[in-house]
Amino acid sequence: MNLVKAVTLRGVQAKEVDVEVEIAGGLFSISIVGLPDASVREAKERVRAALKNSGVSLRGRIAVNLAPADMPKEGSMMDLPIAVSLAIRSRSITLDRPAIFIGELALDGRIRPVRGAISAAVLAKEQRLPLYAPVENSPQIGLVPEVEAYQVETLGQILSHLESGIPLPQVPPYKVEDLPLSVDPDWSDIRGQAMAKRALEIAAAGHHNVLMVGAPGSGKTMLARALRGILPPLSDGEILENLMVKGLLDSDDRPDRRPPFRVVHHTASTVSICGGGTALRPGEISLAHRGVLFLDEFTEFRRDLVEALRQPLEDGSIVVSRSSGTVTYPSRVLLVLAANPCPCGWWGDAVEPCRCSPSDLERYRRRLAGPVMDRIDLQVSVSRLSPEELVGLSSSHGESSSKVRERVSMARERQRARWSFGGWGCNSEVPEKTLRKHLNLSSEGKKTLLQMAEGFRLSARGMGRVLRVARTISDLAGDDGVSSSAVMEALAYRGEI
Ligand SMILES: [Zn+2]
């Protein structure tokens, strides 16, 4: 029976690979079969040198078979299992049970960290197999609860462990409680902008996608950055999910409790945002999973790019196709868009006059309407600060991130409790019919809504959005019902342009 297991990555999932070796007489040669990519084929040289420097000389014609044969294998993480397989065969070592090995080998036998270690650890836990992994990958592996994992530094160390039972240190569990939650800038670093700050607090509480409209230099980017700091910290499971994506790109990424924040510019390619490419990698929308995806200058984005975002925003995951099949990456993000109010940027500004013609404005507003705008619950204007605000008479600018985060977390708790019967976490996820049924709209609220619906000519969709946002505003206030003032406030974010 074959006992040495490797893994290869398919999206964020690690797949088990059996490493089989055959050694026959004759001139020395190594061949690797079983759909290896270039990096696996290059393992030959590293494995041979590392084994030699660890006291194992290879002889004869060697065939390494990676099974199942029809699954493509990628990455240098197969160096270690191939080397261990060959050493076991050459030295007649017996393993008493199957085990997974991951690691890239340096020529001198040191073991280097690999991408995808956390995915391998999740697989090892599921299969109840021990995992031998590079010591540098321990922070990621230690995040997976109840995994049996050993940290190794050199090939020699692992061979003496397998041969003579010299114990190896176990990967210690990683403590996330001590990780920082503070984000730069802090909520209290933002001067003025009371309405925008309030809109973002509501967005954070109900996980509502939001559009900020404002002149250049009004601070939209700073607001978006600070939003990350008022979102509830990631749960253990979310940290893991997040790191599984990041771990595909980076071998020494550290766990982080803070939701990710990723900025995308309109010059970005579809592959960089959605994922894919020849060296299949997750895109920005997946790297922002469980956090904020910020699209600045949204009206400048190409139509096809905006169109490509629609499905992943709706599904919370994105399917990327390539010749050998498809992979799925997660993509549950809080979408924040920023745009100028008009082509020249000064429409509605208190000082600068707008130089756009009515037809310019019309064309511009059409660019803002579109597939992704259907997913935006809140719109808010961000105006430039007045001279008084800029001078900043007081050094403090309201509540700190941690204070607002507490309120947001409480509102999330209320939503989770209300929607637990359907498995939804936030007001933004609940189907509209269900939301209306459990809205608990007060009679005053209903009256206000009826009056306003007429005055503002709200569409059915617009009305749904107002109700959703009003529900979140009430959750922030700790209110079981939805009051008239919550409805009024929600109407203020329905968008003017
Ligand atoms: Zn203008």
Query: 19-37 b/e with 16+ CB inside 10 Å = b?
Result: bebebeeeeeebebebbbe
Structure token digits, residue 465? 């959005």
* Spacing, Cα 356 to ligand 1 middle (Å): 4
* Spacing, Cα 399 to ligand 1 middle (Å): 34
* Spacing, Cα 46 to ligand 1 middle (Å): 61
Q: What is the DSSP letter of 34?
A: S
Kindly give, in sequence order, each residue whose CB lies less than 8 Å from that of residue 492, ignoring residues fewer than 6 positions away: 195
Helix (H, G, I), strand (E, B) or coil at 221: helix
* Spacing, Cα 377 to ligand 1 middle (Å): 25
Q: What is the average per-residue pLDDT within 452-463?
A: 82
* Spacing, Cα 207 to ligand 1 middle (Å): 31
Check for a shared fold between 187-418 and 431-497: no
Condensed to tens digits (0 to 9), the pLDDT of residues 98-155 reads: 999 999 999 999 999 999 999 999 999 999 999 999 999 999 999 999 999 999 999 9
CA dist list (Å): 320 to 280, 325, 344, 451: 9, 9, 37, 47
Where are the domains positioned within the chain?
4-164, 187-418, 431-497
What does the pLDDT read at residue 497? Answer: 42
Q: How confident is the model at residue 196 (pLDDT cuts 50, 70, 90)?
A: very high
Measured between alpha carbons, how far is 188 from 213 in angstroms, rounded to an integer? Answer: 21
* Spacing, Cα 215 to ligand 1 middle (Å): 9
CB of 292 within 8 A of CB of 262? yes
DSSP character string of 131-184: EEEEGGGHHHHTTSTT--EEEESBHHHHHHHHHH----PBPPPP--TTS----S
* Spacing, Cα 86 to ligand 1 middle (Å): 70
SS3 content of the chain, % helix, strand, coil (to 5): 45, 20, 40
* Spacing, Cα 152 to ligand 1 middle (Å): 62
CB of 314 within 8 A of CB of 271? no
* Spacing, Cα 37 to ligand 1 middle (Å): 53
Question: Would you say domain 187-418 falls under CATH 3.40.50.850?
Answer: no
Measured between alpha carbons, how far is 470 from 440 in angstroms, rounded to an integer? Answer: 11
Amino acid in the structure at residue 252: D
* Spacing, Cα 220 to ligand 1 middle (Å): 18
* Spacing, Cα 213 to ligand 1 middle (Å): 13
CB of 168 within 8 A of CB of 158? yes
Q: What is the average per-residue pLDDT within 22-38?
A: 89
Which residues partner with 292 through β-bridges? 261, 334
CATH class of 431-497: mainly alpha
State the pairing for strand pair 292-295/131-134.
unpaired
Nearest Cα to Cα of residue 382 among 184, 224, 228: 224
Half-sphere exposure of 470 (CA within 13 A, CB side): 30
Helix (H, G, I), strand (E, B) or coil at 489: helix
Query: Which residue do the tokens 């044969």 mark?
Result: 69
What does the pLDDT read at residue 280? Answer: 84
Of 51 and 391, more confident = 51
Kindly give, in sequence order, each residue whose CB lies less than 8 Å from that of residue 160, ignoring residues fewer than 6 positions away: 166
| CATH number for the segment(s) 4-164 | 3.30.230.10
Condensed to tens digits (0 to 9), the pLDDT of residues 361-404 reads: 999 988 888 778 888 999 999 988 776 666 665 555 689 999 99
Q: What is the average per-residue pLDDT within 48-52?
A: 95
Measured between alpha carbons, how far is 169 from 205 in angstroms, rounded to an integer? Answer: 43
Kindly give, in sequence order, each residue whose CB lies less than 8 Å from that of residue 235, ignoring residues fewer than 6 positions away: none
Whole-number percent of the chain with pLDDT over 70: 97
Q: How confident is the model at residue 37 (pLDDT cuts 50, 70, 90)?
A: confident
Q: How many CB atoms lie within 10 A of CB 261?
A: 21
Condensed to tens digits (0 to 9), the pLDDT of residues 230-283 reads: 999 999 999 999 999 998 888 878 899 999 999 999 999 999 999 988 778 899
What does the pLDDT read at residue 483? Answer: 95
